[in-house]
């Protein structure tokens, strides 16, 4: 659903670029705006994500384990990227302050966030990222368990016991 909403926003921005065009003054001077090539790439990625999610849904519904694998791989990749973000915050904590300084002046609560002790801010961000990583890990285990369940259900190596009056096979 989120990917569909992002796709709709991107497509509307591509059809009417003047509506979404921001001047460099509105962006704070240092930020880059999305040109048409970047919007096309973002649209393609959004379409690909919708396709991967639809494949996983279809695979779970029709009991086809192979259709779930692309979504599982995406989840592993996303988890790895978020882990790298957490490591970079831990290794280079000063980048948070640099990032906050680059935000536009009209960004909500910018001054309040800047006034927080930098060590405390790093701890808060790491706690937030840890919660997100734990949730993503849980979702990865859910998809993996779904894959194993479907794979086990379709496996022909399951023992079948047939009982008759005389013998058990």
Whole-number Å distance between alpha carbons of 167 and 118: 75
- Per-residue pLDDT tens listing for the chain (169 residues): 777 777 777 777 777 766 655 444 444 444 455 566 777 787 888 889 889 999 999 999 999 999 999 999 999 999 999 999 999 988 988 888 888 888 888 888 888 888 888 889 899 999 999 999 999 999 999 999 999 999 888 776 555 556 666 655 5
Gap between the Cα atoms of 27 and 5, Å rounded: 23
- In the block, which residue shows the tokens 């921005």? 13
- Measured distance CA(18)–CA(15) in Å, rounded: 9
Helix 2-15 with 36-62: angle, nearest 10 deg: 150
């Amino acid at each position: 659903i989120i990917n569909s909403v992002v796709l709709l926003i991107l497509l509307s921005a591509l059809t009417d670029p003047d509506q979404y065009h921001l001047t460099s003054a509105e962006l704070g001077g240092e930020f880059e705006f999305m040109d048409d090539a970047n919007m096309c790439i973002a649209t393609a990625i959004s379409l690909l994500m919708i396709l991967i999610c639809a494949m996983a849904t279809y695979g779970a519904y029709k009991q086809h384990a192979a259709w779930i694998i692309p979504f599982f791989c995406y989840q592993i990749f996303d988890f790895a990227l978020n882990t790298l973000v957490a490591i970079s915050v831990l290794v280079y904590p000063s980048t948070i302050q640099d990032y906050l300084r680059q935000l536009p002046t009209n960004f909500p609560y910018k001054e309040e966030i800047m006034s927080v002790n930098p060590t405390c801010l790093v701890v808060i961000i790491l706690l937030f990222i840890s919660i997100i990583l734990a949730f993503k890990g849980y979702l990865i285990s859910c998809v993996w368990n779904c894959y194993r369940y479907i794979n086990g259900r379709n496996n022909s190596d399951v023992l079948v016991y047939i009982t008759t009056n005389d013998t058990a096979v």
